[in-house]
Amino acid sequence: MRTSIATVSLSGSLTEKLTAAARAGFDGVEIFENDLLASPLPAEEIRARCADLGLRIDLYQPMRDIEAVPEEVFDANLRRARHKFELMRRLGADTVLVCSSVSPDAVDDDALAAGQLARLAGLAQEFGIRVAYEALAWGRHVNTYDHAWRIVEAAGHPALGTCLDSFHILSRGSDPRGIAGIPGDRIFFLQLADAPLPAMDVLQWSRHHRCFPGQGGFDVAGLLRHVLDAGYRGPLSLEVFNDVHRQADAGATAVDAHRSLLLLQEAVGAAELPPPVVPTGIAFAELLTADAEPVTALLAALGFARTARHRGKPVDLWERGTARILVNTGARDRRDGTRLAAIGLTSPDPAGAARRAEALHAPVLPRRRAPEDAPLDAVAAPDGTELFLLATGSSGASRLPDWRSDFADLPDVPEPAGTTRIDHLALTQPWHRYDAATLFHRGVLGLDARESIDLADPYGLRRSRAVANADGSVRIALTVGAAPADETVHAAHIALATDDVVAAARALRAAGGRLLPVPDNYYDDLAARFALSEGELATYRELGILYDRDAGGAFRHCYTETVGRVFFELVQRDPGHQGYGAANAPVRLAAQHTRRLLR
């Protein structure tokens, strides 16, 4: 029989995957949409590459959330499908996978699903394409293979068949004997995967994935209240089986563990801690480097001007609008490259914030004590980043904060048009400190933490979680790499807010700065997903601007080249948008790997 493999099953760039599959003896591939979007190769070239390697493109996958939706939604879905069918024609792929809908828009109406799938198949047929409809095990209404087949049968369209996937069938414990009743020529595709059985077992969950209170999803405080109500007066004891803790330094884990119990006691009113003082803004980001030239050239291209110099240390202040970057050339080791070493957070009560941090075991750093220095409270985050807690200007007249008095002004530099501030900071955590970092930012700094999400990097999965204050003036994205050995530890980026990302990107280019190139395939997909005007799309394509949208509005962003372990992002955020461009992260990460490999 012919053998095929989905590109998502392998690591690396699309080209690496195709080469590996062909060398191993596969006859074909399923091209996973994200692998195509992240590839710099146009569809025709991918087709040619596959042909050269002796690979047939057996499937393009997936289309999602197509069927059983209100008519106006389905119209938009057909528009999206037409884009993909055009792409598939360029690829020379003749079968598309459609997964059963998980959308909250989907209604439980098999006749509607069958009718819409038949219309989709009709459109596909015009392109010589077959539609293979598959039940996801977690589909909203259709989640068993026999249900998917009943809908395909009811649709009665020759270009519509079913796709069977051993994972979706066997993970639910469905009886596979019913498969023999489906006509073989209506099974358009078969996807095979095995899986370890205990992955779903509460015993495995218990023995490998426990974490400290406040790091997971349980209402541990609620449970503790019931126990205290019962009159329990014994100790609060942590029993946490966790694969990561088994490997991580015991001292750091114990500190994190004890912090979780302090916060838990505070949550149930059994302990009093200095109250949280939520930071109100990002005063500065401090870059540490042994060679300031590359990063200051980039800052200049970004419209920053060097405005002041520290009176006692080799530190320059660069400003644009209210975005402030300190460039500290006191790094000892040139090989470390430029890195984000410290963050200044403005606080309505720096001393109070420091007291809470100290009570919660955050290492308090020695206050700066040079004669001219304003005394600064500072603590270390779990990843080692120094956090300075800074008063906002105490004298009402000055827009400058107190810490600024340590700096001597340089001659005035004209500031470019377009104000800028720091939209967010993104910090890569050491692999074993991710949960600890969340607990720290939430518990010590009083920031809100979002759910952790997966980001597919070509060479491994990353996880990312945003922490922010209520008005979004402090936003930090905490990311953890794929593996302990990940070389991106301590990499960071600084996202600068702009009112007009197109103008900002053009200005950067005009000033000699370089933007991260984004593959054309990404923009073809953008055209399918969003009804952007031709001109808008062309501009984004020209500049490498990425686009996302949620209920609160749009998010437009692009990236600079990387200097040492730091790069910058330009962000145009609609006021209501709460995201960080996660949907675009796989494309961005792939593009950064491409650049890195070219260097």
| Among 75, 105, 156, 207, contact with its own copies (rule: CB under 8 A) | 207
| Among 71, 72, 104, 181, contact with its own copies (rule: CB under 8 A) | 181
Residue count (the chain): 599
In the complex with its own copies, the residue whose CB is nearer, 34 or 392, is: 34
* Bridge partner residues of 164 (DSSP): 190
Total of residues contacting its own copies (CB under 8 A) = 129
| Among 8, 297, 365, 503, contact with its own copies (rule: CB under 8 A) | 8
What pairing do the DSSP bridges indicate for beta strands 323-328 and 160-165?
A: unpaired
Rounded to an integer, what distance in angstroms lies between the CA atom of residue 423 and that of residue 475? Answer: 7
Quickly count: other Cβ atoms within 10 Å of residue 227's Cβ: 12
| Among 53, 78, 137, 154, contact with its own copies (rule: CB under 8 A) | 137
Tell me which stretch binds its own copies (CB under 8 A): 81-89, 189-197, 342-350, 509-517: 189-197
Is residue 48 part of the contact set for its own copies (CB under 8 A)? no
| Among 54, 111, 158, 209, contact with its own copies (rule: CB under 8 A) | 209
Q: CB-hemisphere CA count at 13 Å for 172?
A: 17
Lay out the site mask for its own copies across 82-121 (x = CB under 8 A, - = otherwise).
----------------------------------------
| Among 34, 125, 166, 405, contact with its own copies (rule: CB under 8 A) | 166
In the complex with its own copies, the residue whose CB is nearer, 457 or 569, is: 457
Residue ranges in 469-488 that form contacts with its own copies under rule CB under 8 A: 482-485
Residue ranges in 404-463 that form contacts with its own copies under rule CB under 8 A: 452, 454, 456-457, 459-461
Tokens of 46: 């991918």
Burial annotation 507-535 (CB, 10 A radius, 16+ → b, else e): bbeeeebebbebbebbbbbbbbbeebeee
What pairing do the DSSP bridges indicate for beta strands 386-391 and 421-429?
A: unpaired
Tokens of 263: 């916060």
Contacts of 284 (CB under 8 A, 6+ apart): 317, 324, 325, 326, 343, 344
Is residue 10 part of the contact set for its own copies (CB under 8 A)? yes
In the complex with its own copies, the residue whose CB is nearer, 51 or 195, is: 195
Q: CB-hemisphere CA count at 13 Å for 387?
A: 31
In the complex with its own copies, the residue whose CB is nearer, 41 or 515, is: 41
Is residue 491 part of the contact set for its own copies (CB under 8 A)? no
* Bridge partner residues of 569 (DSSP): 495, 559
Residue ranges in 270-309 that form contacts with its own copies under rule CB under 8 A: 270-271
Is residue 269 part of the contact set for its own copies (CB under 8 A)? no
CB of 168 to its own copies, least distance (A): 8
Tell me which stretch binds its own copies (CB under 8 A): 151-159, 250-258, 305-313, 442-450: 250-258
Contact in structure between 536 and 460 (CB atoms under 8 Å)? no
Helix, strand or coil, per DSSP, at residue 572:
strand
Is residue 246 part of the contact set for its own copies (CB under 8 A)? yes
- Provide the sign of the torsion angle of the four alpha carbons 411, 416, 417, 423, taken in this order: negative
Residue ranges in 357-396 that form contacts with its own copies under rule CB under 8 A: 361
| Among 48, 111, 195, 538, contact with its own copies (rule: CB under 8 A) | 195
